[in-house]
Amino acid sequence: MFPRLRHRTAACFIIGLVFGYQMATNKEAFFENGALSYADRVNGFDDVGTPIVDVGSNGSRHDGSDWKAGNLDVGNITDVIRFSDLQQHKADDDTIARGLYQSVRILCWVMTSPSNLQKRASHVRETWGRRCNVLLFMSDAEDPDFPAIGLNVKPGRLHLYTKTMLAFDHVYQHHLNDADWFLKADDDTYVILENLRYLLSANSPDDPVYFGHHFQMFMEQGYFSGGAGYVLSREALRRYGSRTMNACVRNNGAEDLLFGFCMERLGVKAGNSRDRLNRSRFHSLNIRNHIQGIYPEWYKKFDNYSGHKGVESISDYPISFHYVCPDDMYTLEYFTYHASVYGLMRGLQQLNPDDNSTSDHH
């Protein structure tokens, strides 16, 4: 049966947000320039005007949009945890989940870096990544031992869009026929693949469509948050891989925003990922933010449904959460797939809307 997420998670370290200048709102200028200037980003803004904070002595930066902006690596586990209690779950009926695994094939590629392979990516591999039909890790440089595919891209936020383009190019060239759907996620994203397959089962991979956490800004159909993960149909990937040279802007900037422009130009529709009760399934913030309904100001402008707060705004079949610490990966893994309530048998819910084909801003 489809697992139900238990709303419990361990706490990560919290530091304050650093605010900068007001976000750019002129769509045409933004599209022409690709993103805010390098100076704006250094002074405290990321590419779409959300605050960035410094997260460590190494000078690395992390998007502050989760309202905590903590260092996801400080104080966290380093060794992977392997769950070995499958014998205790032999009475579970996973017939539907196993059927969807065969009929809704998902290739997952995870954005990472050489310094994060062991700190973050290894924990993705030991938790939700095991449920992908194909799992790939895309890094700045090749690591045959992990393994990770090297994209030969300079490290840093400024090159995330280029990295994303090259990663999807690689998937198109080598794996187009290996899956029906193609998920991009970060190494601090947690994904419940069974719930994603349920959403996608109501859609055709032959339609030009993609799904994610919808932001209605900067373009007619909006775009999807990169951190929450977004998933392309096979036809969407085919259009991307066979695009003309000038179809998509090539300058560096906000990965998810620029990729959204690209999808719109290629005629790929932004699909509706909300459930039948209008609750969210992809989540661009940390699980605590969504449960408590604590959102930063920028989020209220970007998300049409930011007024829907708290646990009742989250679908019973959530798909993803962002800014997940490595130890929280295992917390979510445990409460999603291993913990149970004795004597409580939950029935399946039919939560896909009648029509997923149009974006949730309509």
For residue 44, being part of any structural domain is answered with: no
The pLDDT score that the predictor gives to residue 71 is 52
pTM higher than 0.75 for the full model? yes
The pLDDT score that the predictor gives to residue 301 is 78
SS3 253: coil
Count of domains forming the chain: 1
For residue 342, being part of any structural domain is answered with: no
53 φ/ψ angles, rounded to the nearest 5 degrees: -125, 155
The pLDDT score that the predictor gives to residue 226 is 86
Domain containing residue 193: CATH number: 3.90.550
For residue 37, being part of any structural domain is answered with: no
Q: Distance between CA atoms of 64 and 121, rounded to whole angstroms? A: 21
For residue 51, being part of any structural domain is answered with: no
Instruction: Let me know: does 273 contact 282? Beta carbons within 8 Å.
Output: yes
Range list of β-strands (E), 15-162: 52-54, 61-63, 106-111, 134-139, 149-150
For residue 41, being part of any structural domain is answered with: no
Tokens representing 222 are: 């909006």
The pLDDT score that the predictor gives to residue 76 is 57
The pLDDT score that the predictor gives to residue 84 is 66
The closest of 263, 106, 262, 274 to 192, measured between CA atoms, is 106
The boundaries of the domain holding residue 257 are 92-337
For residue 132, being part of any structural domain is answered with: yes
User: What does DSSP say about strands 269-270 and 209-211: parallel, antiparallel, or unpaired?
Assistant: parallel
The pLDDT score that the predictor gives to residue 48 is 39
Note down pLDDT in tens along the chain; length 362 residues: 444 333 333 333 332 322 233 333 333 333 334 333 322 332 233 433 333 333 233 333 333 333 344 455 544 576 888 876 555 566 788 899 999 999 999 999 999 999 999 999 999 999 999 999 999 999 999 999 999 999 988 887 778 888 999 999 999 999 999 999 999 999 999 999 999 999 999 999 999 999 999 887 777 788 788 889 999 999 999 999 999 878 887 777 788 788 888 999 999 999 999 999 989 999 988 889 889 888 888 877 787 775 677 898 899 999 999 999 999 999 999 999 999 898 888 889 999 998 655 545 43
Helices (H), 62-192: 95-103, 122-126, 160-175
Q: Distance between CA atoms of 104 and 142, rounded to whole angstroms? A: 29
Instruction: Let me know: does 70 contact 94? Beta carbons within 8 Å.
Output: no
For residue 347, being part of any structural domain is answered with: no
For residue 33, being part of any structural domain is answered with: no
The closest of 191, 175, 176, 89 to 131, measured between CA atoms, is 191
